[in-house]
Amino acid sequence: MDCQPQSNNTREKYQPIVVGRSEELAQLWELALKGRHVLVTGGAGIGKTVLLDMLYEGLRAREDFYIFRVGDSRQFKAALTELAEQMHAQGIYQHRKFSESVLRTMTWEKLAPKVRALTVKDLAESLVLSLAGRQAILIWDQFEKATPTELSWHHQFLTTATLVIATSDPSNSKLKVILDRIPARVELKELSEPESHELMEECFEIAPFAVSDLLWYKREIWRKSQGNPRAIKDLLADHSLEKYIDSQFIRSIQSDQGVRYFPISWMVLIATLLFSIHRYVGRGLGDRDAYIIGAAGMVIFLFLSLLVRKGNKAP
């Protein structure tokens, strides 16, 4: 999910930091320039959108072809409208209902309501018409959200432009017919350990904070994140975690010194629950013994979990 807490200022500051990915970018760049369709794959948070951003920004400067992009989490019609806007801005948007000279003089503000009123079919057709005969690269993010009903249009886009598609689900059977048409793949993997450390260093520079053992802390983040860049940034920005990690750290030191911790296991909780059920059932049946056994069991197990908690808190 792309729902990062908006209020987390530190997390936002980390957003522009990017490490690594130069190889993948070069690969993607070369394929796209050759006019090959490419599928960018990799799990959530691995950096597909970031990579597409870099490609888009890099290629926009070039004059020899057109480049368009569909951003995050859009519905199909919204995506098409977005493309129409970009094409209009570059002066190539065409629609058989409007004459070219009218389209050229119209601002997007004036045109937008007319475009939004079009059916998906009309709109998609106008995009294919606008792209026809031009060198164009179409960047399509979040393709895992595509639905089978859109497929015929994607087929047409594949025939008229070079598509760079990102998806976290390259083996989606419903989209197979489209995905099979794109043999070239750029797969994003987790960041390596040195890259993860580099990312953490850069984050620390933006928002420094005190932690008892920095190297240990970084290793812990690396272990938890498994090199997923989003996880690294989220973990670093989540200050509540410092306490957690620090308390784990203190515990690990203490257990080295022979202090043992006993987690209150779910077995104890379940036992408590069972006894309380026993007690209520006993009461319902008017069975005094069952009631007393249930109550006693509950008290004992509650007492036990309190003891464990207290024991764990003691230095």
Ligand X SMILES: Nc1ncnc2c1ncn2[C@@H]1O[C@H](COP(=O)(O)OP(=O)(O)O)[C@@H](O)[C@H]1O
Residues that bind ligand X (CB under 6 A): 15, 17-21, 42, 44-50, 199, 229-230, 233
With contact defined as beta carbons under 8 Å apart, do 262 and 299 qualify? no
Report the C-alpha gap between 307 and 284 in whole angstroms.
31
Amino acid identity of 232? I
Closer of 12 and 246 to ligand X (Cβ)? 12
Residue closest to Mg ion, measured at CB: 49
**CA 51 to CA 159: how far, in whole Å?**
24
Task: List the single partner that 19 binds among ligand X, Mg ion, none, CB under 5 to 8 Å by kind.
Answer: ligand X
Closest CA to 228 of 201, 258, 264, 189: 189
Q: Which residue is nearest to ligand X (CB)?
A: 47
Nearer to Mg ion, 230 or 251 (CB): 230
123 or 188: CB nearest Mg ion: 188
**Minimum distance of ligand X from residue 140's CB (angstroms):** 12
Q: Is 4 in the site for Mg ion (CB under 5 A)?
A: no
Q: Measured from the CB atom, is 70 or 136 closer to Mg ion?
A: 70
What is the C-alpha to C-alpha distance for residues 67 and 62, in angstroms, rounded to an integer?
9
Query: Helix, strand, coil shares of the chain as percentages rounded to 5?
Result: 60, 10, 30
282 binds, among ligand X, Mg ion, none (CB under 5 to 8 A by kind): none
Min dist. Cβ of residue 56 to Mg ion (A): 13
Quick note: the x/- pattern for Mg ion over 31-50, rule CB under 5 A, is: -----------------xx-
| Residue 239 token pair | 């200050």
Smallest distance from ligand X to CB 207, Å: 14
CB 52, min distance to Mg ion, A: 8
Residue 56: what are its φ and ψ, rounded to 5°? Answer: -60, -50
Q: Name the 3-class secondary structure at 39.
A: strand
Cβ 2 to Mg ion shortest distance, Å: 7
Measured from the CB of residue 47, what is the shortest distance to Mg ion in angstroms?
8
What are the phi and psi torsion angles at 183 (to 5°)?
A: -75, -30
Whether 75 contacts 146, CB under 8 Å: no
**At residue 188, what is the residue type?**
L
Residues that bind Mg ion (CB under 5 A): 48-49
